[in-house]
Amino acid sequence: MAPQKITKTVKKKKELIVFSVLLLVSMVAVLTYSSLFKQVRLSLVDQQSIHGVWVEQHVADYATNNVHIGPDGVSVAGRIVATRYEFDGSTLEYLVGETLYQYRMLDELNTKMIQISDNHYNPTYYLVEKYSDRVR
C-alpha cells in the first residue's frame, strides 16, 4: 500500500503544479489582453481634440484655475504637473504625485468638462479656443 500512496501523492502534486501553471498563464493572458485593449482604445481617440487651455467657470477672476493640456502633458498655472494623461473619448485622467484627477466631458465636441475626482467641489471647465468659436 505504501507505493500506491506515494504515487497518489505524486499525482496530486503534479495536478496542483499543472493547475497553478494554468492559473498563472491565464492571469498573465488576461492582464496582457486588458492592457492591449486599453492601448488600442486610447489610440483610436483623437487626443488632440482636448489640447488647449481649459478655463474654470463660475468663479471669481482671481480664483480662476487654468489647465493647459498639450502633447507635453498637463500644466496648471504655468507649471507642468503631469507629463502623461489618458483620454478615452469621454474621461480625462492624470496623476499629480499620488493624486488622481478625473474629468468627464459634458458635450460631444469636447469643449466642456467637469471635474469628477473631488467629492466636495466639481468645477466646470471650458476649452477656450473651441468653446468661444462655438458661441459666436
Q: Quickly state the pLDDT bin for 84 (edges 50, 70, 90).
A: very high
Q: Which residues does residue 102 pair with via DSSP β-bridges, in sequence order?
A: 93
- Residue 3 — very low, low, confident or very high, per pLDDT cuts 50/70/90? low
Q: What is the pLDDT of residues 31-59, one digit of tens each?
A: 877 776 667 666 667 888 999 999 999 99
pLDDT at 42: 61
Whether 60 and 88 map to the same domain: the answer is yes
- Asked if residue 25 belongs to a domain, the reply is yes
Q: Is it the case that residue 136 has pLDDT exceeding 60?
A: no
Inside any domain, residue 133:
no
Question: Of 5-14, 19-28, 82-91, where does the model show the most confidence?
Answer: 82-91
Report pLDDT for 50.
94
- Can you give the pLDDT at residue 129? 81
Residue 70 lies in a domain: yes
Q: Which domain holds residue 34?
A: 1-44
Residue 114 has pLDDT above 90, yes or no: yes
- The residues, ordered by sequence, that sit 6+ positions from 94 with a Cβ below 8 Å of its Cβ are 73, 74, 81, 82, 84, 85, 86, 100, 101
Residue 123 in domain: yes
Residue at 16: amino acid letter: L
| pLDDT reported for residue 99 | 94
Where do we find the cell 468645477? 123
Model pLDDT, residue 53: 96
Tell me whether residue 8 is in a domain: yes
The pLDDT mean for the chain works out to: 86
